[in-house]
């Protein structure tokens, strides 16, 4: 065999090994490796693949808070050019308000159609100006280009989490246990207490005579200013901040 033949044979073997490994990797991938999170507070959708964020996309959701259901669901349908049966508009027609891609979400307990992904869905739209707003009858609308981009990558049974929350997508993914945050959790300040009699207030601080001497406590709690009486004894629960100041957490009579 000449050099050219050996090169082609080697190339063929390498491509064969790559294809074999690639198909094994794809075959081992499951829907549980991915996640779709929709936050109605921001009207945005995050698509995670293999625990990595693929992208965040603007969406439109229900006209009222109850129309787009919240909870944990799954993708139960994948359709290209779904007809708009209500007005008899064929799939692929530019007038079709469902766009060209339909990712049906199974929502048990709503209706028979909802349980198999025929009522609620992530889908395209023929009205781009509606995206980002609260205008739908319950579905999650996306720009056609966005839903077409993720459609081939979304597997059947991919989990879908819909929530109204001020939290970030990273925090919501952490809450789900899908991606655990590596950020260090804040350490709660150690609470301590002292017993003593109130001497008096000065702005947002007050002084108390305790067994450990006169202490200055910091608080902006209006209830404390109104309720604590000069000369009376209390138990002061507090933490110490970085500046060494005593910050009140609670007071008991």
Task: Report the DSSP beta bridge partners of residue 197.
Answer: 209, 233
Question: Per the residue annotation, which of 22, 139, 143, 218 is the catalytic one?
Answer: 139
Phi-psi region of 200 (alpha: psi -120 to 50; beta: other; left: phi over 0): left
Residue located via tokens 């100041």: 245
Q: Is 143 a catalytic residue?
A: no
CA distances to 156, 222, 236, 245 from 191, in Å: 50, 21, 10, 13
**Distance from C-alpha of 62 to C-alpha of 108, rounded to nearest angstrom:** 18
Question: Per the residue annotation, which of 22, 123, 143, 218 is the catalytic one?
Answer: 123
Residue located via tokens 């989990």: 159
- The residues, ordered by sequence, that sit 6+ positions from 121 with a Cβ below 8 Å of its Cβ are 77, 98, 102, 103, 104, 105, 139, 140
Phi-psi region of 71 (alpha: psi -120 to 50; beta: other; left: phi over 0): left
Task: Report the DSSP beta bridge partners of residue 198.
Answer: 208
Question: Which of the residues are catalytic?
Answer: 123, 139
């Amino acid at each position: 065999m000449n050099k050219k033949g050996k090169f082609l044979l080697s190339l063929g073997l390498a491509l064969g090994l790559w294809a074999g490994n690639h198909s094994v990797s794809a075959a081992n991938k499951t829907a549980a490796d991915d996640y779709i999170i929709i936050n109605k507070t921001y009207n945005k959708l995050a698509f995670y693949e293999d625990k990595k964020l693929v992208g965040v996309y603007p969406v439109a959701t229900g006209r009222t808070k109850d129309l787009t259901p919240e909870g944990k669901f799954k993708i139960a349908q994948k359709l290209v050019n779904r007809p708009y049966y209500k007005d008899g508009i064929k799939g692929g027609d530019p007038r079709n308000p469902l766009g060209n891609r339909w990712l049906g979400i199974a929502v048990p307990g709503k209706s028979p159609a909802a349980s198999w992904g025929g009522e609620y869905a992530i889908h395209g739209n023929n009205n781009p100006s509606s995206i980002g707003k609260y205008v739908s009858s319950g579905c999650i609308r996306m720009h056609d280009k966005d839903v077409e981009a993720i459609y081939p990558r979304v597997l059947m049974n991919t989990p879908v989490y819909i929530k109204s929350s001020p939290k970030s997508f990273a925090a919501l993914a952490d809450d789900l246990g899908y991606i655990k945050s590596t950020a260090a959790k804040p350490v709660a300040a150690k609470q301590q207490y002292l017993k003593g009699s109130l001497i008096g207030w000065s702005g947002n601080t007050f002084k108390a005579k305790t067994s450990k001497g006169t202490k200055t406590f910091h608080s902006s709690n209006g209830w404390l200013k109104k309720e604590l009486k000069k000369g009376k004894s209390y138990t002061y629960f507090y933490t110490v901040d970085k500046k060494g100041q005593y910050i009140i957490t609670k007071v008991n009579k």
